[in-house]
Amino acid sequence: MQPPPVRSHDPKTNAAKSLLIIRMAFLALLTALGQAPAVKADPAAARLLIPERIFDGEKFLADRAVLIGSQGRISAVGPAERLTSAHPDVPVRRLNGVTLLPGLIEGHSHVLLHPYDETPWNDQVLKESRAERVVRAVTHLKASLAAGFTTLRDLGTEGAGYADVGLRTALEKGVIAGPRLIVVGPAMVVTGSYGPKGFAPNFRPPLGAEEADETRVITVARDQIGHGIDWVKVYADYRWGPNGATRPTFSRAELQAIVATARDAGLPVAAHASSIEGMRRATLAGVRSIEHGDAGTREIFALMAEHGVFFCPTLAAGEAIARYRGWHKGRDPAPERVRRQHSAFAAARGAGVKICAGSDAGVFRHGDNTHELELMVEYGMSPTEALHAATAVNAEMLNMADRIGRIAPGMAADLVAVRGNPGRDIGDLREVVAVWRDGVCVAASCP
Nearest residue to 283 via CA among 261, 265, 306: 306
Q: Residue 257 or residue 355: which is nearer to Zn ion going by CB?
A: 355
Residues in the chain: 447
From CA 69, how far away is CA 27, in angstroms rounded?
28
Is the Cβ–Cβ distance between 199 and 179 less than 8 Å? no
**Residue 52 or residue 360: which is nearer to Zn ion going by CB?**
360
Q: How far is the CB of 187 from Zn ion (least distance, A)?
A: 9
CA distance 61 to 101: 11
Query: In Å, what is the CA distance from 311 to each residue of 22, 287, 292?
Result: 52, 11, 8
Stretch that binds Zn ion, among 151-159, 175-183, 187-195, 273-281 (CB under 5 A): 151-159
What binding mask, one character per residue, do residues 157-176 give for Zn ion by CB under 5 A, x or -?
A: --------------------
d(CA 111, CA 124): 12
Which phi and psi angles does 33 have, rounded to 5°? -85, 0
Report the alpha-carbon angle 397-398-399, nearest 5.
90
If binding means CB under 5 A, how many residues of this protein chain bind Zn ion? 2
Alpha-carbon distance 365 to 361, whole Å? 6
Considering only 22-30, 149-157, 252-260, 439-447, which stretch makes contact with Zn ion by CB under 5 A? 149-157
Give me the helices (H) in 33-97, please. Answer: 80-86
**Minimum distance, C-beta of residue 311 to Zn ion, in the bound complex (Å):** 14
Give the interface segment with Zn ion, choosing from 118-126, 152-160, 273-281, 339-347 (CB under 5 A): 152-160
The distance of closest approach from Cβ of residue 363 to Zn ion in the complex, given in angstroms and rounded to an integer, is 7
Residue 355, beta-bridge partner list? 311
Residue 81, φ and ψ in degrees, nearest 5: -65, -40
Q: Which residues pair with 310 in a beta bridge?
A: 289
Compute how many other C-beta atoms are within 10 angstroms of the C-beta atom of residue 325. 10
Longest dimension (CA), the chain: 75
In the chain, what are the helix, strand and coil shares in percent, each to the nearest 5? 35, 20, 40
**Of the listed pieces 117-125, 155-163, 183-191, 388-396, which binds Zn ion according to CB under 5 A?**
155-163
* Smallest separation, CB 204 to Zn ion (Å): 24
Which parts of 100-119 interact with Zn ion (CB under 5 A)? none
Q: Find the shortest distance in angstroms from Cβ 318 to Zn ion.
A: 11
Q: Which stretch binds Zn ion (CB under 5 A): 70-78, 95-103, 148-156, 325-333?
A: 148-156
Smallest gap from residue 109 Cβ to Zn ion (A) = 8
The interface region with Zn ion, picked from 236-244, 297-305, 357-365, 402-410 by CB under 5 A, is 357-365
Least CB distance from residue 110 to Zn ion, whole Å? 6
Cβ 361 to Zn ion shortest distance, Å: 9
The letter for the amino acid at 50 is I
Q: Which C-beta is closer to Zn ion: that of 106 or that of 360? A: 360
360 binds Zn ion (CB under 5 A): yes
Nearer to Zn ion among residue 99 and residue 274 (C-beta): 274
Least Å distance, CB 10 to Zn ion, is 39
Rank residues 121 and 345 by Cβ distance to Zn ion and give the closer one.
121
Q: Which is closer to Zn ion, CB of 68 or CB of 282?
A: 282
Beta strands in 155-257 (DSSP E): 180-183, 188-189, 210-211, 232-235, 237-239, 246-248
Task: Return the residues of window 403-432 that contact Zn ion according to CB under 5 A.
Answer: none
The stretch among 8-16, 33-41, 142-150, 353-361 that binds Zn ion (CB under 5 A) is: 353-361
Q: Which residue is nearest to Zn ion (CB)?
A: 360
| Interface with Zn ion (CB under 5 A) | 155, 360
